[in-house]
Amino acid sequence: MTSQAAPVVTTPSLPDDPFSTEILTDPYEFHQRLREAGPVVRLAHYDLYAMGRFDEVHASLRDWETFISGRGAGLADFARETPWRPPSLLLEADPPNHTVTRNVMNGIVSPRAVRALREGFSVLAEEIAERMVERGEFDAVADLAEVYPLQVFPDAVGLPATGRENLLPYGALAFNAFGPDNELRRAALAGAAAVQEWIAASCQREALAPGGFGAQIWAAADRGDLLPEQAPLLVRSLLSAGVDTTVYGIANTLYSLASNPDQWDVLHADPKLARFAFDEALRWESPVQTFFRTTSREVDVAGTVIPEGSKVLLFLGSANRDPRHWGEDANRLDIRRKASGHVAFGMGVHQCVGQPLARLEVELVLTALARRARRIELTGTPVPKLNNTLKGWSSVPVRVEAA
């Protein structure tokens, strides 16, 4: 990408609202039109630039100097309007500031730290899988995906025992807030004061149990690796991005497999494929569908000159199904494919810092289920859950057959 090249194309324009109920519920037909329209598309409804093809989404995510995060990862441009909360020191920051906070977090959510959690997380994964297979019929969202992460993650952070019911609403709020000022965003923000209050209190040093990720963030401040006022905001990042994402990750993985039972057969025959099944489900049904960037300069992308200060909407979920990258069968769930290059965790300097934790949770719960159940099937129609950023389900009724 250079700023010198003259425009060689007329940038196509689409009238669709990607944050409408219809497209949030079933985005895939729109994604195909977006990709086929061109590498860069105008979304006239919001006067925005958008990218839906893998190559351009991937390249933009990696080019943090041009496609910056410091003006917000949502539609709101922090250079023009006051954010709904103080900006995240990770998600909504750029190098060099981002590098400091990110390095602290990398040291805390480290492979070694995550290995230490494995045994405890495993016991609870086995227990819940055992209960589900005993029941035979359950809701993959309400009975499993919304239960297991809340059994393991808040304790790993060291959160207070009371008030944890605020975690899911806060995540839903944070992810809805990336979207436009629509009904979803307004409803999420209205009456969120109590939730935000509990979150703020839980980020304070006194609220966080010794040994947890939260206390380790405060310890980094004590060592001088962070300013003291940065510590609560970094704890807030864990609470913003650490719960709903894994709930959706588990639910979407089980939805993917239950709606493609032949793929469950493959997994049951070899439960060690759980990590591959998770990557393929992330590709096929990406929990985080979109993020915005803002251009720091005029930039030419495939012949379209995007002016400085433009919001650009990157469709991760569309990139993950682009046949130009994944081949003709991009829309097929195939847990034996090499899906690991997907952008469901992002790409580049902002790539999900909690990824090892998410991978651990899903691997354990999926392996435990895959060993015990020879078959999974839907027993009813899954009910979509609407969010401006997350794609998922509020109900996925399933039946499993004990092995």
Residues at the contact surface with ligand OVM, assessed by CB under 6 A: 88, 90-91, 174-175, 237, 240-241
Q: Which is nearer to ligand OVM, 14 or 91 (CB)?
A: 91
3-state SS, 71-95, equals CCCCCCCCCCCCCCCCCCCCCCCCC
Q: How many residues does the chain have?
A: 403
Q: Which is nearer to ligand OVM, 88 or 320 (CB)?
A: 88
Minimal distance, residue 90 CB to ligand OVM, in Å: 4
Three-class SS of residue 380? coil
Minimal distance, residue 188 CB to ligand OVM, in Å: 11
- Provide φ and ψ at 18, rounded to 5°: -70, -10
Q: Which is nearer to ligand OVM, 287 or 397 (CB)?
A: 287
Q: Alpha-carbon distance 385 to 344, whole Å?
A: 18
Minimal distance, residue 175 CB to ligand OVM, in Å: 5
CA-to-CA dists, residue 5 to 12, 63, 87, 299, 308, angstroms: 18, 18, 34, 9, 15
Minimal distance, residue 262 CB to ligand OVM, in Å: 33
Minimal distance, residue 369 CB to ligand OVM, in Å: 27
**E strands along 115-272, which residues?**
137-139
Q: Which is nearer to ligand OVM, 176 or 260 (CB)?
A: 176
Q: Which is nearer to ligand OVM, 93 or 128 (CB)?
A: 93
Task: Identify whether the C-beta of residue 286 lies closer than 8 Å to the C-beta of residue 265.
Answer: no
Minimal distance, residue 373 CB to ligand OVM, in Å: 32
Q: Alpha-carbon distance 319 to 284, whole Å?
A: 10
Q: Which is nearer to ligand OVM, 284 or 291 (CB)?
A: 291
Q: Alpha-carbon distance 58 to 66, whole Å?
A: 13
Q: Alpha-carbon distance 41 to 13, whole Å?
A: 5
